[in-house]
Amino acid sequence: MSFSKEISFMPEIEQVIQKYLAAWNATDSEQRLESINNILAAECIYADSHMPDLIETSELHSGFIDRFKSKFPELKITLVDHPDIHHGFFRFHWQLTQPNGDIFTKGIFFGETNSENKITKLVGFVDK
Amino acid sequence: MSFSKEISFMPEIEQVIQKYLAAWNATDSEQRLESINNILAAECIYADSHMPDLIETSELHSGFIDRFKSKFPELKITLVDHPDIHHGFFRFHWQLTQPNGDIFTKGIFFGETNSENKITKLVGFVDK
């Protein structure tokens, strides 16, 4: 499933989500941090069931993804379906896939955006 | 699927969620408002894709359920699975069923609780 040709027709929040997943898939740490800085509000909170603490800065957020990517460089995260968006809240189903297309894990992110369409909250739950 | 006999062994937030669904299923408006007042923090925000505005008081929240129940008195809301809970955030899948067991609609609530295990946010998304 590819949304790359449709990006100009997407709701702005969906474009932001696509850019966030592209930041996960980036191979360069500096590029990732630059993207994360543009996508997230400065006060963005990230909560993940695998982590004891919340992540509350872009630097820590980008560094967390760096560490994930160093462990699993072959995995790619993609949207499973179009995000659902209402009242500045969103949810989307994601999957992490191996190069051969096998699903490594999948789950859902709930989130919030501010009036500038920057992400202010991301809360992840794993389904598999 | 019934959790009624297990309630004393549940995490406290899951008990709160069970009580919230019981408030949906209550047939008496005053009983519902009393329950909702006990379950939700005073500043609880409710967001539903079917509604243009957020609900921001217990009275409006309970009245919203009253109106739903007056349209669909035969439907009962139940948990589909145990809620997932981390960092004060939760999600749970729900279904609204007809008396014959047919599923009328189903979806997911994402939410947050405060340090007193009162619900401070509920954001609903419909799956079917």
Cα separation, B27 vs B32, in Å, equals 8
pLDDT tens digits, one per residue of B7-26: 556 789 999 999 999 999 99
Measured between CA atoms, the residue of chain B closest to residue A112 is B123
The answer as to whether B81 is a domain residue is: yes
Where is pLDDT greater, at A4 or B88? B88
If pLDDT is split at 50, 70 and 90, which confidence band does B5 have? very low
Helices A12-25 and A29-39, axial angle in degrees (round to 10): 160
Domain that holds residue A104: 10-126
The answer as to whether A4 is a domain residue is: no
**Residues from A in contact with B at Cβ < 8 Å:** 47-49, 54, 84, 86-87, 89, 91, 108, 110, 123, 125
Helices B12-25 and B29-39, axial angle in degrees (round to 10): 160
pLDDT tens digits, one per residue of B34-86: 999 999 999 999 999 888 999 999 999 999 999 999 999 999 999 999 999 99
The answer as to whether A2 is a domain residue is: no
ipTM of this complex = 0.89
Which tokens hold the place of B79? 């948990």
- Looking at the structure of chain B, the number of domains it has is 1
The answer as to whether B2 is a domain residue is: no
Partners of A123 on chain B (C-beta within 8 Å) are: 87, 89, 110
The answer as to whether A16 is a domain residue is: yes
Of the partner residues A54, A87, A110, the one whose CB lies closest to the CB of residue B91: A110
Residue B6 above 80 pLDDT? no
The answer as to whether A48 is a domain residue is: yes
Measure the CA dihedral B87/B55/B27/B98, to 10°: -80
B127: nearest Cα among A93, A29, A48, A70: A93
Q: What is the CATH number of the domain that holds A120?
A: 3.10.450.50
**CA A42 to chain CA centroid, nearest Å:** 16
pLDDT at A1: 46
Which tokens hold the place of B7? 């309630």
Where is pLDDT greater, at A128 or A121? A121
The answer as to whether B5 is a domain residue is: no
pLDDT tens digits, one per residue of B90-103: 999 999 999 999 99
Does B49 contact A86 at a Cβ distance shorter than 8 Å?
A: yes
Which tokens hold the place of A6? 């449709």
To the nearest whole Å, the CA of A28 is away from the closest chain B CA by: 30
Mean pLDDT (whole number) for A79-108: 97
pTM as predicted: 0.90
pLDDT at B1: 46
pLDDT tens digits, one per residue of A17-55: 999 999 999 999 999 999 999 999 999 999 998 889 999
The answer as to whether B51 is a domain residue is: yes
Strand, coil or helix: B66 = helix
DSSP characters over A23-65: HHH-S-HHHHHHHHHHHEEEEEEEEETT-SS-B-SHHHHHHHH
Q: C-alpha distances in angstroms, A73 versus A65, A70, B100?
A: 11, 6, 50
